[in-house]
Structure 1
Amino acid sequence: MSAHAATEPGRLVIVGASLAGVRAARAARHAGHTGTIILIGAEEHLPYDRPPLSKTFLTHSSDHPAAHEPDEQAHPPAPAVLMAEDELRDDLGVDLRLGVTATGLDTDSRELLLHDQQRLPYDRLIIATGATARRWPTTTHLAGLHYLRTLDDARALRAALARTTNLVIIGAGFIGSEVAATATQHGIHATIVETQDTPLAHAVGQTAGTALARLHTQAGTTLKCGVQVTDFSGTGHIEQVHLSDGSVLPADTVLVGIGAVPTTGWLTDSGVALDDGVACDPYLATSAPGVYAAGDLARFPHPRREGTLRLEHWTAAAEQGAHAARNAITTAAPTRYEPVPYVWSDWYSHRIQIIGDPHTDQPSTLIGDPDTGQFTVLYRHNNHITAALAVNQPRAIAKLRRLITQKAPWADALTQTTTLNPPATPPAGSRTESRAT
């Protein structure tokens, strides 16, 4: 059967013109969809690549066309686009509509409600509106408080960092850590304030979190853990950040990096089931007929254990967008989404890679020496390896990907990882272990 014969020719509407949405449009067309594809984005900008926004985009170097411009407001820097406009419109035949916000969904009549009161009919719909930065719970009249999620956020933060000596980052997650690394490398004194005693312990466990914290302190970034921000002070602009332990940090700029919230408010009363995101089945289909979800807001059954999960990472958004599109347009049997999650992050000169899902109630094991900047943390469920975190270990992560996919025995994973990176710590029986939360 040909690709064209296996697909529905109706109207496919994709809400969200970021990575998941663009990949969905491309996958649908490449899979043989001959009907209309409408891609809607709330931002005015062409779909752009987000990972550099917390890294190279923030630096004022010759890499950026606007670096030598006297007025960045007149000549704002731009990141790489995910796909050129002529490729989207002409090559893929996508009806690209930017600056258009979805305000509701009528699943009975199969119509998308837009901010200008228009109703856009659809045959199949993919929800890919992502997530927004979690806001600071209290208000302040002082300037200098920043978030980082969009291009406009990144431009504002970039301009602020150009005149910043002391940067305070609230939250030691991946975004906050990446910005801290970028700032520190460019001569800005960065301090990360984290409510947990160990950074990222909720995401990668105590053992890995402790090891990752060493990357910050070795590079000169200050970590203040187990404390909370209680207030900001200054004259018109934030000058001090007050902490729960009574200490006060000097600050020219404050970045709030306390997570993200799925952009699902517009789906209230739509009939689409919500559960800290959009609830999906194993095929990324929602509770509404003909409606699928992909990207940061898609919550789907865990492929290897009980429960569900949401993945807020580049690789997941790219994979889910394509997968949801193929399932949405095909008349053949849909395919289950059963990924081995992959995440990477760059801090200073270090590449951090995570394969699988590190959330487990069993001990994780550290192999290697964090002080050398090369180590691996392995995670298990019963007697099988389920995840791994590696720092500057590309050979190890490639092998571990195969082992996790194959659900290899725990003993095999320990042996092979130790061979690739002989431990500088005591033998396995006396390794430092902790439970991931």
Structure 2
Amino acid sequence: MEGRQSSIQSEEEESKRAFCLIDQLSMGAKNFKYVILGGGVSAGYAAREFAKQGLKPGELAVISKEAVAPYERPALSKAYLFPESPARLPGFHVCVGSGGERLLPDWYKEKGIELILNTEIVNADLPGKTLVSGSGESFKYQTLVIATGSTVIRLTDFGVKGADAKNIFYLREIDDADKLYEAIKAKKNGKAVIVGGGYIGLELGAVLKINNLDVKMVYPEPWCMPRLFTSGIAAFYEGYYQNKGVKIIKGTVATGFTADSNGEVKEVHLKDGTVLEADIVVVGVGGRPLTTLFKGQVEEEKGGIKTDAFFKTSVPDVYAVGDVATFPLKLYNEIRRVEHVDHARKSAEQAVKAIKASEEGKTVEEYDYLPYFYSRSFDLSWQFYGDNVGETVLFGDSNPATPKAKFGTYWIKDGKVVGAFLEGGTPEENQAIAKVARAQPPVASLDQLAAEGLSFACKI
């Protein structure tokens, strides 16, 4: 009985100490009118829009677990890894990716924005409008913009044997790119294996080849970029990469890795029994939106935080932008989550405009987004607009051996063009395919559309 009573008293004391700690954290909390949680593309563009709309010093804080001010993340899989004249900060801080001013740390100071770096938030109390960091710092806000982005899916998450070996890389943050860059230099003329055939796989496959590594790409799908590319589009890129000396292995997956005596990866074991030598492995098998902090506190849908057309969530004064937001796609009358830098930029701007307008009793136009994706690798450059559903028509010269190839694809649903892809287009031609994807003009026949090709978009 005495033991039980002692246990109850101990629990009561623990409870009191916990409440006391929360009170202390709350009393010592930094207070802001607005907090942007995240340090990626969305965070930087949201900060710029807040500054445009008007801020008083000390009203806004950007809290990021990264050590540097927000930057244009796409550079990490492209110019950052180039063997000559690689991109380096401060060269690609936001908002240079859209032709805007470069926001250096001094810019945040000048605007009275508190840039809180190296700070990971481990607890988010949305009803209490409080964020707590891993070191116990507490931050209170009136309005929160969730811009936490995505995290990479790791092979160790699935218990893949040997996936924790050294020189197995993932690419999400600048710290990841620094480590990969050093490995590329250390393993000069070595062997690299890319696991995955999506964005990261294709872009890093190209940049590692440019660094004179022997490159092999492995993915389970029948062709690369299957979420966007048709087999016809993919055939061009696979052929082009193979002509550049990149070996492509399709229809199988990495099931394990062997390390040497230093713990560095030396072999990649595939499901089909093949064993590949490797000095460097780069894994690009997808990502997950970082929503864990908000589970059970906010409405979710399709893997993200559900928002309206102003990126307002189900919780008052909480907005979600970029990769984490599942939002109404007005053009198609459905809700979607979009992982791409263009949406990261535009959704951030939309949310801030909506926040400032609501404070003044005004409204802004609903977000009317045209899905847009692009990539650059080797001397190739493609753009896609719209939706990739329905029948397809391939046009132009898609022979991978053709110098300066130019070709494209239209997607046709219910007799209308709903999506358009173009490789090697000029700025004017890319604008034309964007225009046709939004206008969704009717199509008389698929044969006629194939015959007209790019000229069909250019006349809309």
> Same fold per TM (> 0.5)?
yes
Counterpart position of 1:93: 112
Does the 8 Å contact 1:104/1:268 carry over to 2? no
Matched AA of 1:283:
F
Change (3 A) 1:297 1:151: same
SS in 2 for 1:122: strand
User: Does 2:126 correspond to 1:107?
Assistant: yes
Does the 8 Å contact 2:331/2:370 carry over to 1? no
2:367 aligned to which of 337, 342, 346: 337
C-alpha distance in structure 1 between counterparts of 2:107 and 2:86, whole Å: 25
C-alpha distance in structure 1 between counterparts of 2:184 and 2:61, whole Å: 38
State the Cα distance separating 1:407 from its structure 2 match. 2.3
State the Cα distance separating 1:316 from its structure 2 match. 1.1
Counterpart position of 1:432: none
State the Cα distance separating 1:95 from its structure 2 match. 1.3
Q: Which of these two proteins has the greater Rg computed from alpha carbons?
A: 2
1:128 aligned to which of 130, 144, 147: 147
Q: Which moved more, 1:182-191 or 1:274-283?
A: 274-283
CA offset digits 1:250-302 (Å, max 9, x no partner): 11100010011111111123335354122112221111111111111111122
Does the 8 Å contact 1:388/1:400 carry over to 2? yes
User: Does 2:437 correspond to 1:401?
Assistant: no
2:277 aligned to which of 245, 250, 267: 250
C-alpha distance in structure 2 between counterparts of 1:297 and 1:171, whole Å: 22
Counterpart position of 1:383: 415
Q: 1:28-427 to 2 correspondence within 5 Å?
A: 28-34=50-56, 36-63=59-86, 80-82=92-94, 83-90=103-110, 92-136=111-155, 137=158, 138=160, 140=162, 141-162=164-185, 163-164=187-188, 165-235=190-260, 236-273=263-300, 275-331=302-358, 332-358=362-388, 360=389, 362-371=390-399, 372=402, 373-394=405-426, 395-411=428-444, 418-419=451-452, 421=454
Segments of 5+ residues of structure 2 without an aligned counterpart are: 1-31, 95-102
C-alpha distance in structure 2 between counterparts of 1:38 and 1:195, whole Å: 43
Counterpart position of 2:28: none
C-alpha distance in structure 2 between counterparts of 1:379 and 1:37, whole Å: 43
Does the 8 Å contact 1:191/1:221 carry over to 2? yes
Does the 8 Å contact 2:161/2:255 carry over to 1? no
How big is the alpha-carbon RMSD for the aligned residues of Structure 1 and Structure 2? Answer: 2.4
Matched AA of 2:264:
H
CA offset digits 1:36-85 (Å, max 9, x no partner): 111111111122221121112112324468xxxxxxxxxxx776222111
SS in 1 for 2:276: strand
SS in 2 for 1:292: strand
TM-score using structure 2 length: 0.81
Does the 8 Å contact 2:267/2:278 carry over to 1? yes
Change (3 A) 1:267 1:414: farther
C-alpha distance in structure 2 between counterparts of 1:183 and 1:79, whole Å: 22
SS in 2 for 1:204: coil
Matched AA of 2:45:
R
SS in 2 for 1:177: helix
State the Cα distance separating 1:417 from its structure 2 match. 7.7
C-alpha distance in structure 2 between counterparts of 1:404 and 1:103, whole Å: 42
Does the 8 Å contact 2:396/2:453 carry over to 1? no
TM-score using structure 1 length: 0.85
C-alpha distance in structure 2 between counterparts of 1:132 and 1:189, whole Å: 28
Matched AA of 1:23:
Y
Counterpart position of 2:7: none
Segments of 5+ residues of structure 1 without an aligned counterpart are: 1-9, 66-76, 424-437
Does the 8 Å contact 1:110/1:122 carry over to 2? yes
Does the 8 Å contact 2:82/2:210 carry over to 1? no
C-alpha distance in structure 2 between counterparts of 1:95 and 1:391, whole Å: 42
Change (3 A) 1:78 1:259: farther
CA offset digits 1:129-160 (Å, max 9, x no partner): 10011111225253221100100100111111
Change (3 A) 1:188 1:158: same
C-alpha distance in structure 1 between counterparts of 2:409 and 2:51, whole Å: 40
C-alpha distance in structure 2 between counterparts of 1:15 and 1:411, whole Å: 49
CA offset digits 1:14-42 (Å, max 9, x no partner): 10122111111111221234471111111
C-alpha distance in structure 2 between counterparts of 1:303 and 1:418, whole Å: 31
Does the 8 Å contact 1:365/1:377 carry over to 2? yes
Q: Taking CA–CA contacts closer than 8 Å with sequence separation of 6 or more, which of the two structures ends up with the larger relative contact order?
A: 1
Does the 8 Å contact 1:403/1:413 carry over to 2? no
Does the 8 Å contact 1:355/1:397 carry over to 2? no
Matched AA of 1:19:
V
Matched AA of 1:44:
A
Counterpart position of 1:435: none
Change (3 A) 1:115 1:408: same
C-alpha distance in structure 1 between counterparts of 2:329 and 2:356, whole Å: 24
CA offset digits 1:368-392 (Å, max 9, x no partner): 1211332101112212222111110
Change (3 A) 1:268 1:63: closer
Counterpart position of 1:5: none
1:27 aligned to which of 49, 54, 57: 49
Does the 8 Å contact 1:42/1:98 carry over to 2? yes
